[in-house]
Structure 1
Amino acid sequence: MADETKKIGKFFREVKAEMKKVIWPTKKDVVVYTEAVLVVMILFTVLIFVADTVFTYLLKLIIKG
């Protein structure tokens, strides 16, 4: 039991040491990354909408004819 407690304590000390090494993004970076993600999401949404519309139209032509 004591051995497990030492292992848990060591784990948390190591986690704390690793977290000090992390380089956190600035607020400006987070805003830029968020904007980039939103733009890409909008572009893909439009692309999927257009593809879906085209394929639906083509499928209706095939079924009708």
Structure 2
Amino acid sequence: MAADERRKAGKFFREIKAEMKKVTWPTRNDLLAYTEVVLVVVIAFTLLIFLADSAFSYLLKLIIKS
């Protein structure tokens, strides 16, 4: 690795470190609340997809039997 590439890599990682210090990290309570919202939405969509799949399967079985 050339000296110029090492210098660029070092600068890159220093800039990453500086940017990470600017990040506002969520509190534990915020993180738990966001996780709860994600789980509720995932469960709701799972149920919706299950119901739609069941309905389409039932309709397909009716069509095939005809």
The one-letter amino acid of 1:12's match is F
Partner residue of 1:35?
Answer: 36
Counterparts of 1:43-58 in structure 2, within 5 Å, are 43-58=44-59
Give runs of aligned pairs for residues 14-29 of structure 1, distance below 5 A. 14-29=15-30
| TM-score (norm: length of structure 2) | 0.92
Which runs of 5 or more structure 1 residues have no equivalent in the other structure? none
Q: Distance in 2 between matches of 1:5 and 1:43?
A: 50
CA deviation profile, 1:15-51 (whole Å, cap 9, x unmatched) = 1110111000110111001000100011011101111
Structure 1 residue ranges (4+ consecutive) displaced by more than 6 angstroms after TM superposition: none
TM-score with structure 1 setting the length: 0.94
Deviates more, 1:55-64 or 1:1-10: 1-10
**Identity across the alignment (%):** 69
Alpha-carbon RMSD: 0.7
